Amino acid sequence: MIEIDISVAQRFLVALLIGALVGVEREKSQVAAGYRTIAGLRTYILLALLGSLSAWLAQFLGSPLLFVVAFAMVSLAAMAGHVTEVRQRPEALGLAREFAAITVFLLGGVTMYGHPEIAVALGIVTSAVLAFKEPLHGLVARIGSDDLYAVLKLLIATFIVLPLLPQHAIDPWGALNPYTLWLLVILISGMSLVGYVAVRRLGEARGTVLTGLAGGLVSSTAVSLSFARQSRTDPTAVAADALAAGILAAWSLMFLRVIVIVAIVNRALLPTLAGPFAAMALAAALMGAVFYVRGLSRRDVSASGEALLVRNPFSLGAAIQFALLFALVLVVVALARQYAPVSGLYLVAALAGLTEMDAITLSLAQGAHDGDGFAVATQAIGIAALTNTVAKCVLVAALGRGPLRLRLAGATLLLVACAALVAWLVV
């Protein structure tokens, strides 16, 4: 009586399904293109089964060379098929189909070598890459040189520069760890890059709210500055409602960004900080929603104004500037902890909040290690958020026109009350 290994049969079935998945996509693409190629549904199923069968035989006979020979034969057959098709249709120069065939063969082998989950995941990715041909080409067309350079710089900073940095403090106060410092720079730059791409992708024509949400990932101050200047060109109440909604959306994202940074750097602060800052984010979002509903007729107001003043999120100069600022804040915070453990930190937080929130949030969260330190750090971050919000309100009042200044003044008063609540909750 022949015993059937159920696990082997399951792996053959998985290989068959992977080949069928890719084959169906290839058949559909051929129908859409209006022509047939030499490889269709049945071919891809057979390729996957051939890969799994050759891998099984290689294990059964103890000869890995068998799988290598089968792989070489499939590769040669795929290239021969490509040459034949190019002779019939000279415009068919792409090698996607041929490499897809080779990939399916290898995925069939992967299933038999004991990794069916990886094979299934890669099979889905392969089908998606083949199916999304036009969207991927369109994405490449929309990517500018600056966007590509920003991504490359971020990758260089992450995988080349970061491993070379020392992982210990280099200053007398134990505040400056180059590895940690650069890792945090990468964190902020990565978040900025995501926001920058979102702004480019959404565009201002989607409305001030969406633009404010996307821009808030990069810089809520930049959003406030840009929208304040736009209010000069259209000082009407309707436009002010739309612009205020966009600014408050960016502010709401700023408060949420603080929570995300703290969660990554020092999760122990979350119990005392997450609730109050989430409340401030909700308050800003609700006020923005009120203004948005009142200004429904001017969703495209940002399209007539200037673009957000957001520079390349990972330019070398910006990265160095942030690193220096963050290092300065770290040293000042370390000195304040040593000579004025409470009042000094509050003063530092207030001053740092006038410019931006990321550096002071990172430094305070990184330096808090006990119960009292958690309370002081949370209060200091709340003070920084207060001064940052007031500073942006003053910026809008100085550069903006019309009813926008009154709307932001009222919103700021409410958020100041929420900031006071932050300090009260942790006392």
HEC assignment per residue over the chain = CCCCCHHHHHHHHHHHHHHHHHHHHHHHHHHHHCCCCCCCHHHHHHHHHHHHHHHHHHHHHCCCHHHHHHHHHHHHHHHHHHHHHHHHCCCCCCCHHHHHHHHHHHHHHHHHCCCHHHHHHHHHHHHHHHHCHHHHHHHHHHCCHHHHHHHHHHHHHHHHHHHHCCCCCCCCCCCCCHHHHHHHHHHHHHHHHHHHHHHHHHCHHHCHHHHHHHHHHHCHHHHHHHHHHHHHHCCCHHHHHHHHHHHHHHHHHHHHHHHHHHHHHCHHHHHHHHHHHHHHHHHHHHHHHHHHHHCHHHCCHHHHCCCCCCCCCCCHHHHHHHHHHHHHHHHHHHHHHHHCCCHHHHHHHHHHHCCCCHHHHHHHHHHCCCHHHHHHHHHHHHHHHHHHHHHHHHHHHHHCCCCHHHHHHHHHHHHHHHHHHHHHHCC
Residue type at 44? Y
Q: What is the model's pLDDT at position 188?
A: 60
Lowest-confidence pick of 6-20, 90-104, 152-166 = 90-104
Q: What is the model's pLDDT at position 293?
A: 81
**Nearest to residue 280, comparing CAs of 402, 176, 190, 413?**
413
Flag whether pLDDT at 24 surpasses 70: yes
**Residue of 52 and 336 predicted with greater confidence:** 52
- Highest average pLDDT, of 201-215, 285-299, 386-400, comes from 386-400
Average pLDDT on 127-142 reads 78
Flag whether pLDDT at 92 surpasses 90: no
pLDDT digits (tens, 9 = 90+) for 60-89: 888 888 899 999 999 888 888 777 777 777
Q: What is the model's pLDDT at position 419?
A: 63
Q: Percent of the chain, pLDDT > 70?
A: 72
Cβ atoms 220, 250 nearer than 8 A = yes
**Residue of 209 and 254 predicted with greater confidence:** 254
Average pLDDT on 349-371 reads 72
Query: What is the Cα–Cα distance from 171 to 165, expressed in whole angstroms?
Result: 15
Q: What is the model's pLDDT at position 93?
A: 61
Provide the mean pLDDT of the chain. Answer: 77
371-399 vs 343-353: helix crossing angle, rounded to 10: 30
Model confidence at 406, in pLDDT bands (50, 70, 90)? Answer: confident
Average pLDDT on 294-312 reads 50
Flag whether pLDDT at 301 surpasses 50: no
Q: What is the model's pLDDT at position 330?
A: 67
Query: What is the Cα–Cα distance from 273 to 422, expressed in whole angstroms?
Result: 8
Flag whether pLDDT at 255 surpasses 80: yes
Model confidence at 36, in pLDDT bands (50, 70, 90)? Answer: low
Average pLDDT on 115-128 reads 91
Q: What would the two tokens of residue 284 be?
A: 């800003």
Lowest-confidence pick of 24-33, 225-234, 316-325, 398-407 = 316-325
301 CB neighbour count, 10 Å cutoff: 27
Flag whether pLDDT at 249 surpasses 70: yes
Query: What is the Cα–Cα distance from 64 to 330, expressed in whole angstroms?
Result: 57
Q: What is the model's pLDDT at position 106?
A: 93
**Nearest to residue 349, comparing CAs of 378, 319, 324?**
378
Flag whether pLDDT at 45 surpasses 60: yes
Q: What is the model's pLDDT at position 387?
A: 82
Q: What is the model's pLDDT at position 94?
A: 66
The backbone region for 114, taken as left when phi is positive above 0, alpha when psi lies in -120 to 50, beta otherwise, is left
Model confidence at 290, in pLDDT bands (50, 70, 90)? Answer: confident
| b/e sequence 256-270, b meaning 16+ C-beta within 10 Å | bbbbebbeebbebbb
Q: Percent of the chain, pLDDT > 90?
A: 12
Q: What is the model's pLDDT at position 308?
A: 46
Q: What is the model's pLDDT at position 300?
A: 46
Model confidence at 103, in pLDDT bands (50, 70, 90)? Answer: very high
- Long-range contacts of range 176-185, CB-CB < 8 Å, 24 or more positions apart? 176/327, 176/330, 176/331, 180/366, 181/323, 181/326, 181/327, 181/330, 182/157, 182/323, 184/265, 184/326, 184/362, 184/366, 185/157, 185/319, 185/322, 185/323, 185/326
**Residue of 349 and 139 predicted with greater confidence:** 349
Within 8 A by CB and 6+ apart from 329, the residues are 348, 352, 359, 360, 363
Cβ atoms 108, 47 nearer than 8 A = yes
Q: Does this model's pTM top 0.85? A: no
**Nearest to residue 70, comparing CAs of 11, 115, 112?**
112
**Residue of 252 and 324 predicted with greater confidence:** 252
Q: Note the Cα 24 to chain centre separation in Å.
A: 32
Flag whether pLDDT at 315 surpasses 50: yes
Lowest-confidence pick of 85-99, 288-302, 311-325 = 311-325
Q: What is the model's pLDDT at position 333?
A: 62
Q: What is the model's pLDDT at position 119?
A: 92
Lowest-confidence pick of 147-151, 157-161, 185-189, 229-233 = 185-189
